Amino acid sequence: MSRSSCQGQAAEARGTGEIHARLLIGPIASDPTESVSAVNRALIKGLQTRYCFCGHRSDRYHGLTKQGRLNLVNLWYLAIQLSGWIGRLVRMRPALAHYALNSGWAMEKSLVFLGVARLMGAHTLAHLHAGKFVEFWSGLPTWRKWWALRVLRRLDGLVVLSEGWKRAIVQTLGLPEDRVFVVHNPIDKGFESAALEMPVERASPLVLCLGVMEKAKGIWDILTAADMLRARCKVQFVLAGPEREPDIHRKVKAFIDTHSLQETVCLRGVVWGQDKIELFRQASIFLLPSYFENFPLVVLEAAAAGCALVTTPVGAIPEFFEHGVSALFVEPGKPDQIAEAIQWLVEHPDERVRLGRAAREVFTTRLGRDKIMADMDRVYQAILSRPRV
């Protein structure tokens, strides 16, 4: 959105008592399955009557399975995206710049973007999305920590996804507690509306595994569990999501063929929009046995849809869902536990329904869009109302 149109909206809003400010938020990729972009798009839609947003586009077409590494392709995209970021800062003159913070080499990239925004007069807000950031930080060499801390301590705020993360970040990085804010991830408004209307009672024991396709998401544990279950109960798995490891889709298909799992496992690619809604409408069980997470959007989507959750207790998940009450927890890297949990849910349809209802109750009472938007609005207002750090 242009600066002039933002000024027009702000002038109109002042007449109705609304508070507006220009905000630059990023990254925004055209890939609808990219989780950070999905969160940013949801924030823009949810708060567009309060703020004038400009989204920083970050589309890329090469090196998609190597985004977490320092290489020539990523440096090329860094140069392109940084020039676009600076251009938006110059044209828009935002009051606040909001950018995602991740681990790997992307940490420095994010901090460069935020540091440039600060030098150009904007308040700065980082949004932590990396599931293993504390572990990543602990393994950094001293010189990387020294530089990153200089930038982090000059930020006006840092958003994390749970109270547990806030405690860990404050303790590990030594950041001021009053500059670390807890805001949960919002899901897409259209999906939320459709999901909450889905009946919790589903007859078919369909297990949906939706997310990034890589080892860290437990893809091989899922396949091993499916192989175990083939002779024990009648169940179908649907695997869907983008590749984040080179050649992973071909390797998964080879596993399915080698173990004769064609009748048990349906392999899909990227799904979104109405196709994604239909998958959740059919699924009675949602499975995500990740080795680490922050607070994955797909778990929130599954809870809204009333699916029985089988997941690992990683990241912020156990702060909201309780084993045996609103989810079934399995240990990372334990396909036998996955198979046992899935078999139990298949054989006890009443328990599937009970867990699905409980998961939806967690979502509606603690994770709905209205509450999250109000929380983020308070963060923006807190930062905008005080002098820059």
Residue 7 has pLDDT above 50, yes or no: no
Asked if residue 273 and residue 239 are part of one domain, the reply reads yes
Residue 197 has pLDDT above 70, yes or no: yes
Helix H or strand E encompassing 158: strand 157-160
Asked if residue 71 and residue 116 are part of one domain, the reply reads yes
Mean pLDDT confidence for 286-291: 97
Domain-located, residue 274: yes
Question: Residues 238-283: pLDDT tens digits?
Answer: 999 988 888 899 999 999 999 999 999 999 988 989 999 999 999 9
Using CA of residue 217, residue 219, residue 222, residue 228, what is the dihedral sign? negative
Residue 295 has pLDDT above 50, yes or no: yes
Under a CB-based contact definition with an 8 Å cutoff, are residues 283 and 274 in contact?
no
Residue 227 has pLDDT above 60, yes or no: yes
Q: What percent of the chain clears pLDDT 70, i.e. is strictly above it? A: 91
Predicted pLDDT of residue 221: 98
Determine how many CB atoms are found less than 10 A away from the CB of residue 141.
7
Question: Residues 327-384: pLDDT tens digits?
Answer: 999 999 999 999 999 999 999 999 999 999 999 999 999 999 999 999 999 999 999 9
Residue 301 has pLDDT above 90, yes or no: yes
Cα separation of 88 and 132, whole Å?
A: 31
Q: What does DSSP say about strands 308-311 and 285-288: parallel, antiparallel, or unpaired? A: parallel
Mean pLDDT confidence for 39-48: 95
* CA distances (Å), origin 289, targets 22, 202, 223, 317, 340: 40, 22, 11, 12, 13
pTM, full prediction: 0.86
Phi then psi dihedrals of residue 334, to 5 deg = -120, 80
Domain-located, residue 389: no
What are the tokens at 381? Answer: 């207002």
What are the tokens at 288? Answer: 């995500």
Asked if residue 93 and residue 36 are part of one domain, the reply reads yes
Predicted pLDDT of residue 17: 43
Asked if residue 51 and residue 178 are part of one domain, the reply reads yes
Asked if residue 193 and residue 161 are part of one domain, the reply reads no
Average pLDDT, the chain: 90
Q: Burial code of 193-215, b = ≥16 C-beta within 10 A, e = fewer? A: ebbeebebebeebbbbbbbbbbe
Question: What's the count of helices (H) and strands (E) in the chain, helices before strands?
Answer: 16, 12
The CATH number of whichever domain residue 175 belongs to comes to: 3.40.50.2000
Domain residues for 374?
Answer: 3-186+369-384
Asked if residue 214 and residue 353 are part of one domain, the reply reads yes
Predicted pLDDT of residue 204: 84
**Total number of domains in the chain:** 2
Query: CA end-to-end span of the chain, whole Å?
Result: 27
Residue labelled with tokens 């860290």: 216
- The pLDDT-based confidence of 15 (bands split at 50, 70, 90) is very low
Candidates 30, 54, 31, 57; CA nearest to 43 is 54
Under a CB-based contact definition with an 8 Å cutoff, are residues 56 and 28 in contact?
yes
Provide the CB-side half-sphere exposure for 171 (13 A, CA): 8
